[in-house]
């Protein structure tokens, strides 16, 4: 099956810093999503981005499908950005999601 | 548009009991998927239902089952609970575009 690797596993930042999270996947996919898991466990959908670039406020994401990776950029980080960020992929839109192991981000004031 | 609703939020059960979790998808979404999250195994796919039919199943024992009703609401059931079933159970619904949207989850503790 498809393997999903995320890096780095842990990231500690001071408020205001920028960061880049990476997701590598081992096969072609038709669906790629970035999620933020909040302290209560809910997975918040950040981006649906099987290819191309999207931006939403301080967050942006880029997926290069031909090279099988995606990047999540967080600019001017805030303490509320803390949590675990997951990348998840599926081969086609109706297939199960395969999750990476996540990047745990801690932002300190 | 209301999101994905899971009930209950928290549950404590004793080994050997059974449990039923509920998930109401986003209005208009016909696909409902279930995932289990544990510290050791991460997020793992349990099963997916579409129009009341199981379309996909993960690698879990038969104690884990589910169903979907005509209004797209779904339930999952775990029988003969084991300590290792303690986990966060997440439900996701999907339309035709924009991927999956997850509910807040049910945190199950088996004692």
Gap between the Cα atoms of B103 and A44, Å rounded? 9
Quick check: A47 and A54 in contact, CB under 8 A? yes
B31 contacts chain A (CB < 8 A) = yes
Strand partners, A72: A21, A61
Contacts of A108 (CB under 8 A, 6+ apart): A12, A13, A14, A15, A79
Q: Based on the number of CB atoms within 10 Å of its own CB, is B13 exposed (0-12), middle (13-18) or buried (19 or more)?
A: middle
Gap between the Cα atoms of B35 and B46, Å rounded? 5
Summarize pLDDT for A4-50 with one digit per residue, the tens: 999 999 999 999 999 999 999 999 999 999 999 988 899 999 999 99
Share of chain B above pLDDT 70, in %: 98
B50 contacts chain A (CB < 8 A) = yes
Gap between the Cα atoms of A24 and A3, Å rounded? 8
For residue B34, how many C-alpha atoms fall within 13 Å in the half-sphere facing its CB? 31
- Who among A41, A99, A101 is closest to B105 (CB)? A41
A48 contacts chain B (CB < 8 A) = yes
Q: Work out the average pLDDT over A92-104.
A: 89
């Amino acid at each position: 099956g498809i393997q999903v690797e995320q890096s780095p596993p842990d990231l500690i930042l001071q408020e205001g810093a920028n960061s880049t999270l990476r997701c590598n996947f081992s096969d072609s996919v038709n669906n790629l999503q970035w999620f933020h898991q909040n302290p209560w466990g809910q997975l918040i959908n950040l981006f649906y981005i099987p290819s191309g670039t999207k931006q939403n406020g301080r967050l942006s994401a880029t997926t290069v499908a031909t090279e099988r990776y995606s990047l999540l950029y967080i600019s001017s980080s805030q303490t509320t950005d803390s949590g675990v960020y997951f990348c998840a992929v599926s081969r086609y839109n109706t297939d199960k999601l395969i999750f990476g192991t996540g990047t745990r981000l801690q932002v300190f004031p | 548009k209301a999101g994905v609703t899971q009930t209950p939020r928290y549950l404590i059960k004793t080994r050997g009991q059974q449990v039923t979790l509920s998930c109401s998808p986003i209005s208009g979404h016909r696909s409902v998927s279930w995932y289990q999250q544990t510290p050791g195994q991460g997020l793992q796919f349990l099963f997916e239902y579409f129009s009341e039919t199981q379309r996909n199943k993960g690698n879990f024992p038969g104690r884990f089952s589910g169903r979907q009703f005509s209004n797209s609401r779904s339930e999952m059931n775990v029988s003969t609970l084991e300590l290792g079933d303690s986990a966060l159970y997440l439900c996701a619904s999907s339309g035709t575009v924009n991927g999956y949207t997850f509910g807040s989850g049910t945190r199950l503790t088996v004692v």
